[in-house]
Amino acid sequence: MITKQIPAIISFELVEHGIKDRDGNPLPPPVWNNVPAMIDFYDNRINCEIAINLIELMALSDPQITALSIRYSDSDYAVDVNKCNISLFSTSSCTYDCTRNTLERKRVTISFSFTKSVLSLIPHDKDRVYSLVFSGACKEPFEMEQQYKGQNFCFSSPKDCDLLTVSSDTVFPKDTWSLIILSFSLFQNAEIRLLETHTPDDFQLYIQLPPPPGTHLCTHKNIFSLIWDWLAADDNFLQQRNMLEFFFAGARNREGYIDFRLINLFVCINSICGGTGQFGVNIADRFCISEGDGHWLAYVRNRMVHEGASIAEAIDGAFADFNDKQVPRGLTLSRYAAYQTTTEPREKLILALYCDIIDLIMAYFMRTIGYSQRISEMRAIYRAFVK
């Protein structure tokens, strides 16, 4: 189980410090050896406490890291500091009485930051296969093999574990990293992030944690194969990646206001529908709803994106726009007709629209990847209603 912090031992010294004795002679560099520390995954920092005097504190601008080791997954690892870009981030405030001995040492908390958010660890053995480990898996057992450009990948995630391991007999091409992340993230509607990379000679630890998950939708692992084949075969992978990133940002459970999340879902819909033609008609065609409902969603989106309206304001404005522009054309609402006459509290109406748009997008994804069952039968494998 990945936690927010892992213990570490750090050593560092002040190389270009300029500290001199009373006769003006340069002193040896101040050194701090084997200082207990903690690495914070959320802030990408090493935090530790040292004893330091006022002169050393004034010279503490760019300390050189000489050694670093961590306690990770019940094992001790030495870190190759030459491959890590670590710099001083901050020091805690400390009051010194300058009329007294400035060489008196006091306890000060200091923080180092990781520019690249990655640690190069020295592996304990040379028998490792090539593997990538991701955090953020859904804690349900998952075993599967997939192929990409002739290379075989083995997926494994034990029950009650949030780690997904993907292994291969040969090195992972960089383009497979995004393919793995997007495929599995869409499969479970929760983003995974790279945590470890292993080769026979190298072990990289990425100081990052996944964002809050969305509602876990897929439970049938065959859907993962369909998602994998869809993304692997697509010639415009960058566009697909951007579209899914907006979907993940909108579908997360506990990150940002619901208005912000809904706007991200509308941007995802923009990516799906394209920028040509009538947006409402495109929505209706892509998401298999009536033309009237498509126009109404387009009005909600326009009010929120272009006018900064809240969801409640956008819903009211969309009905006004629809009655003014589409009713004279003979269009009516079906899917969203009840939204105008419902007596439910406004908060429930807002949540209902948000969840409905997630359902529409997920149903679109399932049709796109070639899922053969009728949408009405998806409730057997989905943990959310898909209309």
Of 186, 215, 244, which closes a domain? 215
* pLDDT of amino acid 50: 93
By C-alpha distance, which of 305, 293, 314 is closest to 266? 305
Nearest in space to 82 (alpha carbons), one of 67, 60, 61, 62: 67
Query: For the chain, give me the number of helices (H) and strands (E)?
Result: 10, 14
Whether residue 105 sits in one domain with residue 34: yes
Chain centroid offset of residue 292 CA: 36
User: Domain for residue 31, yes or no?
Assistant: yes
Same domain (yes/no): 267, 346:
yes
Same domain, 102 and 38: yes
On whether residue 63 sits in a domain, the answer given is yes
Do the domain assignments include residue 301? yes
Asked if residue 124 belongs to a domain, the reply is: no
Question: Which residue shows structure tokens 């869409």?
Answer: 186
pLDDT given at position 265 = 95
284 and 183 inside one domain: no
Integer Cα distance of 10 and 79 in angstroms? 10
pLDDT of residue 17: 72
Same domain flag for 370 and 280: yes
Q: What are the pLDDT tens digits along the chain (387 aa)?
A: 446 889 999 999 987 777 777 777 888 888 999 999 999 988 889 999 999 888 888 888 888 899 999 998 888 999 998 888 888 898 886 666 655 666 788 889 999 998 778 899 988 766 667 999 999 888 888 999 999 989 999 999 998 888 999 999 999 988 899 899 999 988 887 888 999 999 888 899 998 877 766 556 566 778 899 899 989 887 677 788 889 889 988 887 666 789 999 999 999 999 999 766 688 999 999 999 999 999 999 999 999 999 999 999 999 999 999 999 999 999 999 999 988 888 878 888 898 899 899 889 988 988 888 876 654 444 444 444 333
Same structural domain, 303 and 277: yes
Does 94 share its domain with 198?
no
Judge if 12 and 92 occupy the same domain: yes
Same domain, residue pair 110 and 181: no
pLDDT at 112: 92
Residue 48 lies in a domain: yes
Question: Which of helix, strand or coil describes residue 212?
Answer: coil
Residues 110 and 140 in one domain: no
Looking at 215, 235, 268, which one is the last position of a domain? 215
User: Which H or E element spans position 8?
Assistant: strand 5-13
Q: How far apart are CA 230 and CA 234, in angstroms?
A: 6
CA pair distance 93, 107, nearest whole angstrom: 10
Number of domains the chain contains:
3
- What ranges make up the beta strands (E) of 115-244? 118-121, 130-135, 142-148, 151-157, 163-168, 193-199, 202-206
Task: Extract the tokens encoding 214.
Answer: 């969305």
Q: Report the predicted TM-score, pTM, of the whole model to 2 decimal places.
A: 0.78
The interaxial angle of helices 237-251 and 258-273, nearest 10 deg, is 160
Is residue 249 included in any domain, yes or no?
no
Burial (CB count within 10 angstroms: exposed 0-12, middle 13-18, buried 19+), residue 285: middle
Assess whether 147 and 110 both reside in one domain. no
294 to 183, 287, 301, 348: CA distances (angstroms): 28, 8, 11, 21
Q: Are 8 and 39 in contact (CB under 8 A)?
A: yes
Which residue, among 214, 243, 217, has the nearest Cα to 231 in the 3D structure? 243
User: Could you tell me the residue range of the domain that residue 157 belongs to?
Assistant: 130-215
Residue 196, domain member (yes or no): yes
Judgement on whether residues 285 and 358 belong to the same structural domain of the protein: yes
